Each structure stands twice: as C-alpha cells, then as structure tokens.
C-alpha cells in the first residue's frame, strides 16, 4: 500500500488531523527499525499523541522525534497516567471518563484493516 493511503487511513481511523497522522506514521516507522534510529512505541504513547491532536494544538510539522515527551509534559500530558488497555479515537460524540476523554466510533473496515496491518494499536 502506498504511504498516502496509509496516512489517510490513520487520519480517518483515529479521527485526527492530517499533520498528526503524518507524524504518527513516520514516528511509528522508527519503532520498526533495528539500527540506532530505533524509537520505542507503546499503546500509552500512541494514545497520548491521538489525545494531543485535538487538545494541545501542537506544531506537528516542526516537532522532532524524541521531543514528544517534553512537549507532552509541557502541556500537562503524563504518558504514564494514560490507560494502557483502551485505544483512543476521536469522534463527534465524546464521553467523559475520569480525567481522560475516551472515545470510539466504528470506521470502515478498510481503514481498520490498514491501520492494523501497519502495526498500530486498533
């Protein structure tokens, strides 16, 4: 599958902006590397990035890999406090659960399948 389709699938599946989807796609690819450019990827980290898309107004285009934790901390998002059992997705209807907004929406099968095939948490 081509890169553009994958980025669009991430955008649509998680209900995030194109810039965040671009960042997630390329940052996730770094977790697949086996050289010194490898960066870890966890469900909590993925959820923090999805959450930060709508809440924080981060400049995703100029954000450098490995600076995410600093930017998230600066904006009050503690990755360790994020639920490790729930996958965050944005929808038009949000339900408040404690301090975090947990949302979900059924998406077209092809987006879920593509996102799952990439290896992101679905």
Q: Is 79 helix (H, G, I), strand (E, B) or coil?
A: helix
pLDDT at 77: 85
pLDDT digits (tens, 9 = 90+) for 54-105: 876 788 999 999 999 999 888 888 888 887 777 877 765 555 555 555 555 5
pLDDT at 31: 95
C-alpha 4/C-alpha 15 separation (Å) is 16
The answer to whether the CB of 10 falls within 8 A of the CB of 21 is: yes
Res 39 pLDDT > 70: yes
pLDDT at 96: 52
User: What is the value of pTM for the model shown?
Assistant: 0.77
The answer to whether the CB of 101 falls within 8 A of the CB of 80 is: no
Res. 109 pLDDT band, cuts 50 70 90: low
Q: What domain range is 48 assigned to?
A: 3-118
C-alpha 32/C-alpha 26 separation (Å) is 10
**Joined tokens for residue 98:** 């404690």
The count of domains in the chain is 1
């Amino acid at each position: 599958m081509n890169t553009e389709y994958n980025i669009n699938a991430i955008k649509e599946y998680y209900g995030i902006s194109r810039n965040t989807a671009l960042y997630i796609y390329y940052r996730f690819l770094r977790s697949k590397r086996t050289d010194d450019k490898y960066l870890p990827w966890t469900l909590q980290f993925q959820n923090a990035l999805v959450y930060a898309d709508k809440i924080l107004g981060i400049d995703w285009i100029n954000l450098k890999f490995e600076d995410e934790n600093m930017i998230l901390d600066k904006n009050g998002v503690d990755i360790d406090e994020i639920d490790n059992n729930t996958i965050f997705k944005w929808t038009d209807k949000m339900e408040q659960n404690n301090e975090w907004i947990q949302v979900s929406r059924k998406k077209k099968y092809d987006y879920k399948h593509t996102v799952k095939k990439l290896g992101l948490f679905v």
